[in-house]
């Protein structure tokens, strides 16, 4: 088990280094960061040269990366080129908004996915099954930004029930949460459904039924408890995939989170914010995958041996 953990951990660190290196190189290829100050008038030839030395721009790329990396592990990404604030402060400011949105969408995915999954497994070919399938179908084939816009069109523009954008009271959370959570809800639904179908087929369920246990008890107490393990573990991975999803959702709803921040930073080649934010995204993803791996290994010993 220890070997497995060490191995996994090592691979996780490797992924973070690989991913940030690629992002770093891309940001350097996008242009000399000093060019961004050209219009500001604060750039004299002396300052140009000095910054070149400070940032290590005269050195080869791997060395530049190493300079960046040494500071980055201490959470020092440098100053934002656009605002002049510390990039880490800007990122910290935006993280709560994104985490709230992701958590809300996760809850939505579970609240919709689990009941619909169970119902469509236990009442096959019923109305629930049809609703569940339609829901999953739309989740897989609708572009997320289009779904968001349609929700805005129906609930904000036509019905006037909910606000169109920005962060605010609870009513501001509903549409972004649904937009971000729809596809994951469909994924949870499918997992719960297949897991329930498998469990309901097992011997102990037949025994419970033969004993005369009430049907709702068979489903929720005997079957669901066991069937819920794979979807719940998977739902952590789903949470990780939200991190990418927030970029689109935040753009549609003008949500002041990390996703929008990073899109703006990329468009302005604000490399301290950009590389910092990507590092945050990558670390969050890798940590989540690591946790999922461990929990799988704890539940299923076969994985450890492999």
Partner 1 sequence: MAEAISEQFSAESSDDISIVRRPVHVVRRYPIIPGLIILVLIIFAIFAPLIAPKDPEKNNLRHRNYPPVWQDADMDATEINAGREPGSYFLGADALGRDVFSRIIYGARISLMVAAIAIAAGVTIGSTLGLIAGYFGGVIDEAIMRLLDVNSAIPFILLALMIVIVMGQSLMTLIVVLALSNWSGPARLVRGQALQLKTMDYVHLSRISGGSNTRIIIKHILPGTRNVIVVVGTLEVGSVILAESILSYLGAGVPPPTPAWGSMISDGREYLLVGSAWWITVFPGIAIFLTVLAFNFLGDWLRDKWDPRLRQL
Closest CA to 113 of 41, 188, 201, 214: 188
236 in Cβ contact with 292 (< 8 Å): yes
Q: Between 115 and 230, whose beta carbon lies closer to partner 1?
A: 230
Q: How far is the CB of 46 from partner 1 (least distance, A)?
A: 29
Do you know the residue count of the chain? 306
275 in Cβ contact with 20 (< 8 Å): yes
152 binds partner 1 (CB under 8 A): yes
Binding mask 263-302 for partner 1 (x = CB under 8 A): x--xx-x----x---x--xx--xx----------------
Q: Which stretch binds partner 1 (CB under 8 A): 16-24, 38-46, 104-112, 220-228?
A: 16-24
239 binds partner 1 (CB under 8 A): no
168 binds partner 1 (CB under 8 A): no
Query: Which 3-state string (H, E, C) describes 34-55?
Result: HHHHHHHCCCCHHHHHHHHHHH
131 binds partner 1 (CB under 8 A): no
126 binds partner 1 (CB under 8 A): no
CA 251 – CA 214 distance, rounded (Å): 49
Q: Which stretch binds partner 1 (CB under 8 A): 85-93, 170-178, 247-255, 293-301?
A: 247-255
What are the distances in angstroms from CA 85 to CA 56, 81, 93, 224? 21, 8, 12, 50
What residues pair up with 86 in beta bridges, in sequence order? 79
178 binds partner 1 (CB under 8 A): no
112 binds partner 1 (CB under 8 A): no
Q: Which of residues 37-96 bind partner 1 (CB under 8 A)?
A: none
What are the distances in angstroms from CA 297 to CA 194, 255, 286, 290, 292? 21, 37, 16, 11, 9
Q: Which stretch binds partner 1 (CB under 8 A): 59-67, 96-104, 147-155, 217-225?
A: 147-155
What are the distances in angstroms from CA 166 to CA 7, 225, 250, 254? 43, 39, 9, 5
Residues that bind partner 1 (CB under 8 A): 11, 14-16, 18-19, 22-23, 26-27, 29-30, 124-125, 133, 137-138, 140-146, 149-150, 152-153, 156-158, 164, 243-244, 247-248, 251, 262-263, 266-267, 269, 274, 278, 281-282, 285-286
């Amino acid at each position: 088990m220890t070997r497995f953990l060490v191995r996994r951990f090592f691979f996780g660190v490797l992924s973070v280094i690989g991913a940030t290196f690629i992002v770093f190189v891309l940001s350097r290829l996008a242009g000399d960061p000093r060019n961004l100050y050209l219009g500001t008038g604060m750039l004299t030839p002396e300052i140009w040269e000095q910054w070149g030395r400070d940032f290590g721009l005269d050195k080869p790329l791997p060395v530049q990366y190493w300079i960046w990396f040494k500071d980055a592990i201490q959470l020092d990404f440098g100053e934002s080129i656009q605002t002049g604030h510390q990039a880490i402060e800007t990122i910290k400011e935006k993280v709560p908004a994104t985490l709230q949105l992701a958590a809300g969408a996760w809850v939505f995915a579970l609240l919709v996915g689990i009941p619909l999954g169970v119902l469509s497994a236990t009442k096959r070919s019923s109305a629930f099954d049809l609703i569940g399938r339609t829901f999953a179908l739309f989740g897989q084939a609708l572009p997320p930004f289009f779904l968001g816009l349609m929700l805005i069109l129906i609930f904000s523009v036509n019905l006037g029930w909910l606000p169109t954008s920005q962060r605010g009271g609870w009513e501001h959370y509903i549409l972004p949460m649904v937009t971000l959570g729809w596809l994951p809800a469909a994924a949870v639904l499918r997992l719960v459904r297949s897991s329930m179908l498998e469990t309901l087929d097992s011997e102990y369920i037949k025994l419970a039924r033969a004993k005369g246990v009430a049907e709702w008890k068979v489903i929720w107490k005997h079957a669901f408890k066991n069937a819920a393990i794979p979807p719940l573990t998977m739902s952590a991975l789903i949470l990780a995939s939200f991190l990418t999803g927030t970029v689109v959702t935040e753009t549609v709803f003008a949500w002041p989170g990390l996703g929008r921040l990073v899109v703006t930073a990329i468009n302005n080649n604000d490399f301290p914010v950009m590389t910092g934010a990507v590092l945050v995204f990558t670390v969050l993803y890798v940590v989540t995958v690591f946790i999922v791996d461990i929990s799988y290994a704890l539940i299923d010993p076969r994985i450890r041996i492999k």
